[in-house]
Structure 1
Amino acid sequence: MKIATINVNGIREAVGRGFLDWLANQDADVVCIQNTKAKSFELDDSILYPEGYEGYFLDAEQDGFSGVGLYCRKIPKAIMYGLGFPQCDHEARFLQADYDRFSIASFLMPDGSDPAAKQAFMAQYQEYLSKMARKRREYIICGTWHIAHKTIDLENWADNQETPGFTPEERAWMDQVFGPTGFIDCFREINRDAGEYTWWPKLDQEVPRSRQEGWRIDYQVVGPNFRRHVVDAWIDYDATFSEHAPLIVEYDLPL
């Protein structure tokens, strides 16, 4: 099973830069997208239902803001829209597809431009993660968490310790997620190297991403029992339709 996640930062703009061509060449079972910034009922069928996929979307109440989606090759048994608290659901930050053995979610954390709002979200989301960890069902949570966890997860970390996305409070919260709460960072199960990034705040498309300052803020997160099923994980640096790069993980389970 191959799962990809990508923050498209505007689905229409990403399509104009080649997102659908990229999608057609992935042979992924599920593709999770974030920051659609569009009302799905206004999108063309080519975006809603790309060949071979069924599309599911959750739109924010505010126009041109947030939004998450899922492209699934196999129709899920159920779709869960939101998490039940207003900050998440009104801003369209969580969409989950349920299959027989596990669930796959597309997730978008607030970016931290309003630190108080992000802290409030994290507190409520932590409660939900704790409940998920106690369930017998397995989860794969894919998306933009807007936090670089460790110093190897961003360039020039020493100058960014008070920057939203790398504050001590946010990093301590991630320590809880990947510590006592029991979740696993799939990418770091495979790759422990520095310099592996998924987002470039000042991306210059004319300069190779390897020469630009980046952050790793996009994740695929699973419970401890799913650790053994992670076969491979990589970042697709050649995909240039967004300031984010796709994160792709292969699991040794069928969808």
Structure 2
Amino acid sequence: MFTVSSVNVNGIRAAGPKGFIAWLAATDADVVCLQEVRARPEELPADLLDAVVRDGWHLTCTPCQTARGRNGVGVLTRVAPDAVRIGFGAAEAAEFTGSGRYLEVDLQIGTDALTVASLYLPNGTADTPKQDEKDRFLAAFAPYLAERREKAAAEDREVLVCGDWNIGHTELDIRNWKANRKNSGFLPHEREWLGEVFSPRIGYVDVVRALHPGVDGPYSWWSYRGRAFDNDAGWRIDYHVATPGLAARAESAVVERAPSHGERWSDHAPVTVRYRMAPS
């Protein structure tokens, strides 16, 4: 078995002392994907770096080069990556290369040859330039996902894209879906786009939904406003999106929801999936 966790930390310098470093010390994950790191490598807290060294992690990260203190993704691995790629290459995606939104690493974990990516998809606002940016990202990213799957299949490799996708796919993925039908994250064209990612044409699987069919959630993000967390009025926008071969080996998926509002160290919770090893 190997375990992969993914979490939007909502600023690692704030999350660290509030509980992220303690969580990292306790996790048995083999890979941890991080989003919204919001720090350049030289700005990472010393106690986090000490914990990384102490526990034998390999940290790969890419900050946002265009707006300091924004975005940023990273991957923590127990084994050193064989390769690292920042951005997703397409000419149409050039504006996002330095935006700290996508990072992928090639790993060999036991018998598994894996490409694991950390994604922070843009969070739009309907009918604004922010939504236009998000839509450009979607238009460029879907072909890349199809290309990455085809290339991985030729290399006998599985692909796992973890992160904050900032889209609720179905009504099961948002508690208050009726009130959000005209809001970014639940717009019809966004939901249709994500459905295409999960279609045979692009060829990926929503791992958590496959393990939890037909149920509300499990939610992974709750607004800090009001009593959203206490009432579990959340969104499921943090996904493990895998090629079918890997998805078929997923044994369990849990959202590591904090025991109480006061014990949260992010507005997201880690989404953790255990996978069986590939047959030798």
Q: TM-score range by the shorter chain?
A: over 0.9
Instruction: Give 4+ residue runs of structure 1 displaced > 4 Å after superposition.
Output: none
- Partner in structure 2 of residue 59 of structure 1: 63
For structure 1, which segment, 106-115 or 195-204, has the greater mean C-alpha deviation from structure 2 after superposition? 195-204
TM-score (normalizing by structure 1): 0.94
The alignment status of 1:44 with 2:45, answered yes or no, reads: yes
For structure 1, which segment, 208-217 or 154-163, has the greater mean C-alpha deviation from structure 2 after superposition? 208-217
- Partner in structure 2 of residue 111 of structure 1: 123
Between the aligned partners of 1:103 and 1:175, the Cα distance in structure 2 is: 22
Question: What are the Cα deviations for residues 90-143 of structure 1, in whole angstroms up to 9, with x where unaligned?
Answer: 211111110241111111100113110000000000110110121213111100
Q: Percent identity?
A: 34
The alignment status of 1:200 with 2:208, answered yes or no, reads: no
Between the aligned partners of 1:27 and 1:139, the Cα distance in structure 2 is: 21
**Does the CA-based 8 Å contact 2:168-2:237 persist in structure 1?**
yes
Alignment coverage as a number of residue pairs: 252
Question: What are the Cα deviations for residues 52-110 of structure 1, in whole angstroms up to 9, with x where unaligned?
Answer: 21111101011010000111111111111221232322211111110241111111100
- Partner in structure 2 of residue 96 of structure 1: 104
- Partner in structure 2 of residue 8 of structure 1: 9
Between the aligned partners of 2:31 and 2:217, the Cα distance in structure 1 is: 26
- Partner in structure 2 of residue 34 of structure 1: 35
The partner residue of 2:143 within 127, 131, 136 is 127
- Partner in structure 2 of residue 19 of structure 1: 20
**Does the CA-based 8 Å contact 1:209-1:237 persist in structure 2?**
no
**Does the CA-based 8 Å contact 1:203-1:243 persist in structure 2?**
no
Amino acid paired to 2:7: I
**SS of residue paired to 1:97:** strand
The partner residue of 2:212 within 173, 176, 191 is 191
RMSD: 1.6
**SS of residue paired to 1:18:** helix
- Partner in structure 2 of residue 252 of structure 1: 276
**Does the CA-based 8 Å contact 2:59-2:77 persist in structure 1?**
yes
- Partner in structure 2 of residue 241 of structure 1: 265
The partner residue of 2:247 within 227, 234, 249 is 227
Structure 2 runs not aligned, ≥5 long:
none
Amino acid paired to 1:7: N
**Does the CA-based 8 Å contact 2:10-2:37 persist in structure 1?**
yes
Between the aligned partners of 1:217 and 1:208, the Cα distance in structure 2 is: 15
TM-score (normalizing by structure 2): 0.86
Between the aligned partners of 2:36 and 2:43, the Cα distance in structure 1 is: 15
- Partner in structure 1 of residue 78 of structure 2: 73
Between the aligned partners of 2:3 and 2:158, the Cα distance in structure 1 is: 16
**Does the CA-based 8 Å contact 1:87-1:121 persist in structure 2?**
no
- Partner in structure 2 of residue 147 of structure 1: 167
**Does the CA-based 8 Å contact 1:78-1:97 persist in structure 2?**
yes
Structure 1 runs not aligned, ≥5 long:
none
> 1:247 Cα deviation (Å)?
0.3
